[in-house]
Structures are given as C-alpha cells and as structure tokens.
Amino acid sequence: MSHTRVWFVTGASRGLGRAFTEAALANGDRVIAAARNVEPLDRLAEAHPGRLVPLALDVTDRRAVFTGVEQAVAAFGRLDIVVNNAGAMLYGMVEEATEEQIRAHLDVNFFGAVWVAQAVVPHLRAQGGGRILQVTSMGSGVGMATVGFYGAGKAALDSVSEALAMEVAGFGIEVTILQMGGYNTGLFTTGMTTTEPMSEYRDLRSEMEQMWGDDVSPEPSTVVPTLLELVALPDPPRRLIVGSESFGHVLAMEQSRIDDYLKWEHLSRLAPG
C-alpha cells in the first residue's frame, strides 16, 4: 500500500465508523466516509479539505453501493482499506419480531456488507490488493435472547467473510473479521429498532435487561490504537477479538461449546459420517 492510504468506511457518521474515520485522518490518510446521513460529517470535511469525501449511501441499496464505490475510486484513484461497519440493532424476542423488521435488519447488517464486498473486490483485485475489515461482534458465535437477529446477521457475516477471505487471498486482498466488544456507539439508542413486547416474555426480558446492565461502555475512540496497529500488519489475522473483557468472554463461550460437544461425544459418534 502507498504511504497515504485511502479508506472507505460505511456507517461513518457516528460510533465506530466515525472513530475509524477520524483516526485515519489523524494518521494522514484519506477517507471516503459513507453514511445514510452525512450532515454530521460536514465539520470534519471542512477541517480536512481534500482528504475527506462524505458519501451519502444506503448500503441496503445494492445498485447505490456499486455506484458509490465507483465514485469513491474516482475521488482518490484507489481504495486501500475498506471498513464494513454500517449496522443496526433489532431488540426483542424471536417470536415478537415482524417480517418487515427482520428483513430490514438483515438488509443492513448482512446484505449491506455483502454488497460493499462485492463492489470493492474488483477494484482491489485490479490494483493488486487491499484490506477489508468486516465489523461483526464478540457475540456472533452464540445466540442470546432479545438480540437473536443481531447475532444471526453477524454470524452470517462471519461465515461469508471466512469464505471471502479464502476466495480473494490469491489476489493480495486480506480480510479481517473484527469481533467487536461493547462500545458506546449509539447502537442501543439511535441505531435500535424494538419489537412489540409480549407479556409471555416479561420475566425473561427483565432478566436480560438486568444482565445487560447499566454500565457505561468504553468510547469508540479507545479502539483506535488496535485498529491502526492492525492495518499496519503485513500479515493480518483472519479474525480478531476487539476488547480486553470481550476476549475473556469469547474464550469462555468457545470453551463452553467444546465442553458440551465432549459431553455428548458418545451420542455424536453413534452416527457414521
């Protein structure tokens, strides 16, 4: 990659996307900052003339994504680091969610990231390489009550990203899955859609809300040192847990799953194949 890198960041107007955008600019790089509403980026663009291009983009619109990526490449001539960060939260029990809510949620969290990947790969391949960072979740490996569809979208993105990484490795394109911990991104406020609560789940909902707690999550800017070190690595990891506490939680969840597999090994081995 050239010394001055070009970033393409989705969901760049707030949260992690905003933190990634500001970090890239502070590092001397150039950024195409994509978001549905780019107005919050106005002052940042004024402070970095010629180095930040706000791009109004709805990632659920596949045609608009391909057009937007073409505009991004035209702006700076290339793309070096693509951050698939745009996302939202659907909060509620599986039974409560409407078809419209489920489809709208996955359109953003899964299909939107797929459209961006499909649009950028030809450009990265043509220029001989690049990086794609797929923002998923530390909880994508396990389903949790009230956030089942969020986990489902992130798990699907995890799986597709593993496949994508294998497919594009021969073109010099590196894919890293960022399993993010909990940060103060606005995901549970401005980025959240809530189902209509059913009385049958009242006790469980209360239990889950107590489990989530009221602790203040770290600011997205605290991720910046990890991000900048990651994109500087010549041989980046395929998957990275982001967050000290999250690292411990993920390892515990993985070990619990292994323990459960071993507990029922005798039953598994009764079947051939």
pLDDT in tens, 82-130: 999 999 999 999 999 999 999 999 999 999 999 999 999 999 999 999 9
Q: Catalytic site residues?
A: 150
| Residue 259 and residue 126 share a domain | no
| Residue 266 and residue 207 share a domain | no
- Kindly report, residue by residue over 118-170, the tens digit of the pLDDT: 999 999 999 999 999 999 998 888 889 999 999 999 999 999 999 999 999 99
Residue 203 lies in a domain: yes
Residue 1 lies in a domain: no
| Residue 258 and residue 142 share a domain | no
| Residue 120 and residue 137 share a domain | yes
Q: Decide if pLDDT at 213 tops 80.
A: no
CA distance 34 to 116: 11
| Residue 223 and residue 90 share a domain | yes
Read off the CATH number of the domain in which 126 is found. 3.40.50.720
CA distance 273 to 266: 14
Structural domain boundaries enclosing 104: 6-242
Residue 16 lies in a domain: yes
Of the pLDDT bands very low, low, confident and very high (cuts 50, 70, 90), residue 1 is very low
Residues 168-173 have a mean pLDDT of 98
Residue 88 lies in a domain: yes
| Residue 126 and residue 95 share a domain | yes
| Residue 95 and residue 21 share a domain | yes
| Residue 153 and residue 67 share a domain | yes
What are the φ and ψ backbone dihedral angles of 37, each rounded to 5 degrees? -115, 110
Q: What is the DSSP string of 48-107?
A: STTTEEEEE--TT-HHHHHHHHHHHHHHHS--SEEEE----EEES-TTT--HHHHHHHHI
Query: What pLDDT, on the 0 to 100 scale, is given for residue 211?
Result: 81
Q: Decide if pLDDT at 184 tops 90.
A: no
Mean model confidence pLDDT for the chain: 94
Question: What total of structural domains would you count in the chain?
Answer: 2
| Residue 106 and residue 229 share a domain | yes
Query: What pLDDT, on the 0 to 100 scale, is given for residue 142?
Result: 82
| Residue 159 and residue 75 share a domain | yes
